[in-house]
Structure 1
Amino acid sequence: MDVTPTAAEQDRNGCMVAVVGPSGAGKDTLMAYAAKLFESCEDIIFARRVITRDAAAGGEDHDGVSEAEFEALERAGRFAVSWNAHGLRYGIPIETRQAVAQGKLVIANGSRSALARFRQAYPSLVVVNITASLDVLAARLEARGRETREEILGRLERSSLAVTGDYHVVTIDNSGSLEDSGRALVEALNSCLAG
């Protein structure tokens, strides 16, 4: 499938919004909140990631594939962006590039480590950095039951909550209520539509 944008499509102002932030910040929850509000808007697409994790594993709605399937998709050029993190592989479908070129707003759950790849794939990129206080992050991660509190606190202390690099960044603190943070994300997406 050819996803190279036509000259007419390149004249439209689409945008990729890469939502990033540490584990436990609530990216999936906030994206689901916004997706529900925008479900009838044809110009907004919430990208479905391909991940080397079982689709029934919980968390975000994604396409789960094996390592071999991911490799085959990557070799076939089926990803606009792909990266490795936390022992998994992630891919953003190539069709999202054409959607942006056609003037659509595409929102994807990204990674701070992959932002240079996002910028290369999407000329118009906005980064939404979801953060929360260390106490809130630790409590959320502890509730998942995958690590001890000590392991969680050690990992959080070693990581930065900031986005480094020359990007257009909107930061949302998701330490409080879902409604407040959800409204902030919706406002950020609306401003991307207006831009």
Structure 2
Amino acid sequence: MGQLIYLIGASGVGKDSLLQAARSAYPEWLVAHRYLTRASGADEDCVALGDAEFAVRRELGLLCLDWHAHGLNYGIGVEVEAWLARGTTVLLNGSRRALPRARDRFGEALVAVVVTAPSEVLRRRLVERGRESPGEIERRLERHREVARELAESFPRLARIDNGGSLSDSLAELTAVIEGRCSSRI
């Protein structure tokens, strides 16, 4: 059985950038794409679906994990389970809300990792991304602070990667987790 590296953290902390860096540096690590009910950005590993198509995939059992957040549906395809069964390392931009269900579904294969970034870095990234209004960005930053507190309290033993600096430093931290030099089991 492989391992599922389940990245969680606030929107804008750079999870997708970290996944892209990992994909480039380590082609043997498989980056799972998410199905979601909005158009995806160029830096995301996502497949955009309409609400009806998403519902059909869920009903057919083609999603091994799904959740609802920010008014959108997100899902992970059953191909992830096939990859894990072949002993691969799979990386995934997950959801903290879905973490308990992911733990139930993937058991010992799951390695959850909290990705963080300082608020000023997060604000700059959200502005540059251009998806939200200034008011929405401020609400998201407040939510980021709340989520950071919740994660620290709920999962104090999870590995944390500060992705506010260089991407190469963050990738080195992620590599340490994957290679077992950092404990992050829940």
TM-score clears 0.5 = yes
1:150 positional shift: 4.5
* Pair 47,151 (structure 1): closer, same or farther in 2 beyond 3 Å: closer
Give how far 1:25 is off: 0.2
Aligned match of 1:129: 114
Distance 1:82 1:172 in 2: 24
- 1:46 paired with 2:31, answer yes
Letter of the structure 2 residue corresponding to residue 29 of structure 1? S
Structure-2 change in CA distance of 1:154 and 1:65 (3 Å): closer
Q: SS of 1:123's equivalent?
A: helix
CA displacement 1:132-153 (0-9 Å, x = unmatched) = 1111111111222333444423
From 168, 180, 185, give the equivalent of 2:174.
185
- After superposition, the C-alpha distances for 1:10-34 in whole angstroms (9 at most, x for unaligned) are xxx4221111111110000011101
Aligned length: 177
Structure 2 partner of 1:169? 158
Paired residue secondary structure (2:57):
helix
User: Contact between 1:172 and 1:185, CA under 8 Å: does it hold in 2?
Assistant: yes
Runs of 4+ in 1 over 6 A off after TM superposition: none
Structure 2 segments unaligned to the other structure (5+ residues): none
Are 2:85 and 1:104 aligned? no
Which whole-Å CA distance do the structure 2 matches of 1:27 and 1:16 have between them? 15
Aligned Cα RMSD in Å?
Answer: 2.2
Q: In the alignment, residue 160 of structure 1 is paired with which amino acid?
A: V
TM-score (norm 1): 0.81
Q: 1:10 maps to what in 2?
A: none
Amino acid at match of 1:66: G
Normalising by structure 2, we get a TM-score of 0.85
Residues 126 and 168 in structure 1, CA contact (< 8 A), matched pair in contact too: no
| Bigger shift: residues 121-130 or 25-34 | 121-130
**Cα displacement string for residues 53-97 of structure 1 (whole angstroms, at most 9, x for unaligned residues):** 235x43303221111000000000001100111121111111212
SS at match of 1:175: coil
CA contact (8 A) 1:131 1:173 kept: yes
Gaps of 5+ in 1: 1-12
Match of 1:36 among 16, 24, 33: 24
Asked if structure 2 preserves the Cα contact closer than 8 Å seen for 1:138 and 1:149, the reply is no
- Whether 1:85 aligns to 2:69 is yes
Percent identity among equivalent residues? Answer: 38
Greater displacement, 174-183 / 22-31: 174-183
Matches within 5 A, 1:20-31: 20-31=8-19
CA distance in 2, matches of 1:155, 1:102: 38
| The one of 39, 44, 53 aligned to 1:60 | 44
1:160 alignment counterpart: 147
Work out the CA distance in 2 between the residues paired with 1:165 and 1:103.
29
> 1:19 and 2:4 equivalent?
no
Quote the Cα distance in structure 2 between the aligned partners of 1:166 and 1:175: 21
